[in-house]
Amino acid sequence: MKRKYFGTDGVRGQVGKFPITPEFAIRLGIAAGRVLAHKQGARVIIGKDTRLSGYMLEAALESGFSAAGVSPVLLGPMPTPAVSYLTRAFRADLGVVISASHNPYFDNGIKFFSHEGTKLPDETEQRIEEALDGDLPLAQPAKFGRAFRQDDAPGRYVEFCKSTFNTGSSLAGLTIVLDCANGATYHVAPLVFSELGARVIEVGCRPNGININDNVGSTHPQTLIDKVLSSKADLGIAFDGDGDRVMMVDSMGHLLDGDAVLYIIAKDCAERGILKGGVVGTQMSNLGLELALRDLGIDFCRAKVGDRYVMEELLSRGWGLGGENSGHVICLDYVKTGDGIVSALQVLKAALRAQRDLGEMASGLSMLPQDLINVRMVAGFDALGDLRVQQEVRAVEQELGKRGRVLLRKSGTEPLVRVMVEGEDREAVHQMAQRIANVIREGAEGQ
């Protein structure tokens, strides 16, 4: 289904350029309100990350929803998974997050949650797009929505996160570095881990509107690694700008990505006999994860890239755990979307139960070397359909044989083509990825 405005994670782009403008946001609020909230007294929960442009888009969406007869409940800066949780907790009809996740501050986006706290299906987004392209009559003036601000939202989410940890268990004695990416977790994550007993060292917890994801957070893990080593901390945890991704670092500075987080949680759940079915990964999940899980007798399947597709696969199979190597991890026993804080707590819960260091918990996982190169897209050039690119991909696949794989895909959130090559030899994998990327660049330059 080809969509006009929505990508894999809502509507996203550069602020001030269509569609990330106040005019479009107002229309989007009206359209979504008319499509998703049909009853009198409908409510929508609106949260945002720490980007300066969030104020503008929040006000525009508030206006649009009110004009459609829907009452907006404003949370202020809150992680994406918090909006999912609070949408369900408040019995709201719709949840909205204003965020561009791991992108720089000059980008922003708008994504929606259903009343169940799940991402909207493609068909519903299609209905919103159809409404956007038509007439958008307003509600009768007497039926306009009323806006409210929910001041206790951070505290409610902190208590929810803590409830997913073992009752009576404590993180006392642990020193944890928390990198909040100057994003939406800056005021809640430190409270969660400190109230559970840990000594918390804060990184990326001073947002100013433009420093979100700026050399901090899960997309820049070296900052976390350096701080863990310099402070001699027991471990480190990094989130992205909106808090739905997590990366972890052990006391030796070794990085654990989303695949490692999935492995640790899955292994612990399987040992306790509470793993529901198998594990859902994506096309980007490392082959090493698949092999390690199968060694444990745990089924594994791959979904399309995007946590919405991981969720769809989980629901269709009746399984409870899935995620992406980027750090989106969904623990369906607790949450309906990726939640960085909750996922990190499940890893720490497993480590405490096993009485092992974080690094030891991932010792059964051998990751194959994987090289990922992002190539900027050029208008008019179809990298995936180009004959020269396809020929180079086939050549690399023949060289890898059954000991590796190649994945080429367009990003759903940025104007990029992602080139991923995986195999046994790190240097060979890097050279192969560079070869494909160079052919794409040459084709783009020839346009």
For 279, counting Cβ atoms within 10 Å of its Cβ (0-12 exposed, 13-18 middle, 19+ buried), the class is buried
Higher-confidence position of 280 and 291 = 280
Those residues whose C-beta lies under 8 Å from the C-beta of residue 389, and which sit 6 or more positions away, are 383, 408, 436, 439, 440, 443
The residues that bridge with 376 in the sheet, in sequence order, are 416
Spatial separation of the C-alpha atoms in residues 224 and 236, rounded to whole Å: 6
The mean pLDDT value for 38-48 works out to 90
pLDDT tens-digit series, residues 145-203: 999 999 999 999 999 999 999 878 899 999 999 999 999 999 999 999 999 999 999 99
CB 322: neighbour CB atoms within 10 A? 32
- Beta-carbon-side half-sphere exposure of residue 185 (alpha carbons within 13 Å): 34
Phi, psi of 165 (to 5 degrees): -90, 160
What mean pLDDT do residues 354-365 have? 94
Could you tell me the pLDDT band of residue 330, with boundaries at 50, 70 and 90?
A: very high
The gap between the terminal CA atoms of the chain, to the nearest Å, is 28
pLDDT tens-place string over residues 55-104? 999 999 999 999 999 999 999 999 999 999 999 999 999 999 999 999 99
Q: Any catalytic annotation for residue 101?
A: yes
The predicted-structure confidence for 193-245, as pLDDT tens digits, reads as follows: 999 999 999 999 999 999 999 999 999 999 999 999 999 999 999 999 999 99
* E strand or H helix that includes residue 101: none
Indicate the pLDDT class of residue 346, thresholds 50, 70 and 90. very high
Q: How far is CA 151 from CA 54, 77, 155, 156, 375, in A?
A: 17, 11, 9, 10, 43
* Calpha distance 398→77 (Å, rounded): 49
Distance of CA 296 to the CA centre of its chain: 27
Ordered structural domains, the chain, with CATH: 11-152 (3.40.120.10), 169-255 (3.40.120.10), 257-361 (3.40.120.10), 370-445 (3.30.310.50)
The set of residues, in sequence order, having a beta carbon less than 8 Å from that of 323 and lying 6+ positions away, is 258, 261, 262, 280, 281, 307, 310, 329, 330, 338, 343
How many percent of the chain have pLDDT more than 90? 88
Six token digits for residue 369: 């070397």
Banded model confidence at residue 8, pLDDT cuts 50, 70, 90: confident
Q: Residues 182, 206: contact at Cβ < 8 Å? A: yes
Please report the pLDDT score of residue 1 as a whole number: 52
Residues in the chain, total:
447
Tens digits of per-residue pLDDT, 413-437?
A: 778 999 999 999 999 999 999 999 9
Map tokens 């060289």 to a residue: 399
Confidence bin at 122 (pLDDT 50/70/90): confident
Contacts of 296 (CB under 8 A, 6+ apart): 266, 267, 270, 364
> Is residue 360 predicted with pLDDT exceeding 70?
yes
Which of 2-11, 225-234, 359-368, 390-399 is least confident?
2-11
Q: Is the dihedral of CA 39, 43, 49, 52 positive or negative?
A: positive
pTM score: 0.90
For the ranges 92-96, 150-154, 385-389, 442-446, which has the lowest average pLDDT? 442-446
pLDDT reported for residue 36: 81
Angstrom distance (rounded) from CA 249 to CA 272: 25
Catalytic residue among 66, 101, 218, 343: 101
Q: What is the mean pLDDT of the chain?
A: 95
Q: Which residue has the higher pLDDT, 287 or 216?
A: 216
DSSP 422: E
Quickly list DSSP for 299-367: -EEEE-SSHHHHHHHHHHHT--EEE-TTSBEEETTT-SS--HHHHHHHHHHHHHHHT--HHHHTTT--P
C-beta separation of 343 from 412 below 8 A: no
pLDDT tier for residue 2 given thresholds of 50, 70 and 90: low
